[in-house]
Amino acid sequence: AVITPRPDGSGQAEATLAYGGMRTADAPPLPGGEARAEPAVAISPPESAWTPRERVALTFDDGPDGKYTPMVLDILAEYGVTATFFVVGVQAERYPDVLARIRDEGHEIGSHGYAHADMGKMTAADIAEDLRLADEALREAAGIVPALFRPPCGSVSGELKAALSDSGKKLVRWNVDPRDWDGTPAAEIASHVLEHAKDGAIILLHSFGGKNADLSGTIEALPEIIEGLLAQGYELTTVSGLERDSK
């Protein structure tokens, strides 16, 4: 038997036996007038045209804290979305329960240094000490040693890259930045993210800090961002999820 897709494009397939190209039902009867029995043919559907969904990662810097980080977590939980949190060591020491919640709710945790210093301007020795203190703080608070690192303010140097290599950490930047920390209105935060999102995008947001310690715009914009990205067909994942899915 030969399996061929129907010419009407229905996606179904039909079996044709080698009776001069005729279907079984149209083939001549057997001697004695008996009809030919339909063979048991396993018909496989045509190869699917399905392709993986495009993916983006939401990331949140500078937390945890006792105000905005829980709000972010509540929204992510409402939508069933996971994200990556780049946390500061001193904040982890202050809010270990919130850091543990980030971990327990399935989010990814990366290091954002110990004291949110400009590590691109630090000596190699000071960089190594800052990384060590941050790791120690996260280990004590949540029992983790992060494999990802995002430099505060995006400041990077050769010494920092070498220290990250020595410690086995991966440097993570971003490519969508709505400047939510700068008092940007919620509507502008959301529109910037939705207009600049693309497959593999790493979106920078914050869960602590901001101008006048106010991230209300981020909290207001986050549901619109999530709903808008989902409506555009994106799947929201973690930074490491982007890397796994690209292999």
Half-sphere exposure of 101 (CA within 13 A, CB side): 16
Find out whether 82 and 237 touch, Cβ atoms under 8 Å: yes
206 catalytic per annotation: yes
Distance CA 235, CA 247 (A): 16
Supply 155's token pair: 């400041």
Radius of gyration of the chain from its Cα atoms, rounded to whole angstroms:
27
Q: Which of 8, 26, 61, 104 is an active site residue?
A: 61
* Sign of the alpha-carbon dihedral angle for 221, 222, 226, 232: positive
The identity of residue 182, as a single letter, is: D
Calpha distance 76→63 (Å, rounded): 15
Catalytic hit among 62, 206, 214, 245: 206
61 included as an active-site residue: yes
Residues noted as catalytic: 61, 206
